[in-house]
Structures are given as structure tokens and as C-alpha cells.
Amino acid sequence: MEKDNLNENEINDEVEENEIKKISNTEEETDNNVNKEVESLITSDEESDKQSSSKIILANVLDQLLMIAGSALLVLLCDIILKLCGYMFVRDNGSIILAGGIIYFIINCIYGPIMEKSKLENTFGKKILNMN
């Protein structure tokens, strides 16, 4: 009986040691993961600092000009389609400007998310300026 108790105590001691080792290993892995995450955050901040603000502004200006041109083309296309159907924009009250503004707003809202999720993974302005 004493031998059984001794064997059980030894087994329990081994199990406790193994559990302690596992816990310490998981703590070390967690610390390593946290260190890697902090390191990645720091390096990504450094990379974002590398891009000058003038480049970012220029990329946004290029994107806005592209959206304005797209809006103008869509408004002209709508005007042509309306003329073919026998209708037209009334030039006196600025309805064509309102239509252009609405189209521009819609394009402006969907342009960035669609371009970032596409194969290009960036907007055209950022691709032109080679910004990642």
C-alpha cells in the first residue's frame, strides 16, 4: 500500500511538473507573440512615416480628379440617353449640376473600398505614385 501511495505521489509530482512546464511554455509563447505584435506595430508606424504627407495628398488629389472625370462622363452619358428617349436636362435650373454632384458623391463613397478589395489592392492615385 505504501508503495502504491509512493508511486501515485511520484506520478502526481510528474504530472504537476509537466503542467507547470506547459504553463511556462504557453506564457513564453504568449510573450513572444505580444513582442512580435508590438514589433510589427512599430515597424508599420515607421513605414507609414516614410510616406510623406505630400505624396498622400497628391494621391488623393489624383483620385478625386479621376472621380470628377468619371462623374462628368456618366452625366454626359445620362444626358445622351435622355435625349434619345425624348427628354433632356433643363439647363436653367442647374439640374445637370445636381445630377453630377449626386453621381460624384456615389462614386466617392464606393471608389476607395472597391479599389482596395480588388486585385489592384490600392487606388489608382496610390498605384501611380507607387505607394503601398
Q: What is the pTM of this model?
A: 0.56
- Grid cell locating 100: 453630377
Give the pLDDT mean for 115-120: 87
Please name the residue that has the C-alpha cell 435625349: 83
Give the pLDDT mean for 106-122: 89
Higher local confidence (pLDDT), 96 or 33: 96
Which tens digit of pLDDT belongs to each residue from 17-61?
666 666 665 666 666 666 677 677 666 555 555 668 888 899 899
What's the mean per-residue pLDDT of the chain?
78
Which pLDDT does position 107 carry in this prediction? 92
Rounded alpha-carbon distances, angstroms, from residue 52 to 33, 45, 62, 120: 31, 13, 16, 22
Distance (Å, whole) CA 32 – CA 21: 16
Which pLDDT does position 24 carry in this prediction? 61
Every domain of the chain and the residues it spans: 1-50, 51-128
Tell me which amino acid residue 122 is. N
Rounded alpha-carbon distances, angstroms, from residue 81 to 8, 71, 74, 89, 101: 89, 15, 10, 11, 18
- Closest C-alpha among 65, 70, 58 to residue 130: 58
Contact assessment for residue 119 and residue 109, using Cβ atoms and an 8 Å cutoff: no
Which pLDDT does position 61 carry in this prediction? 92
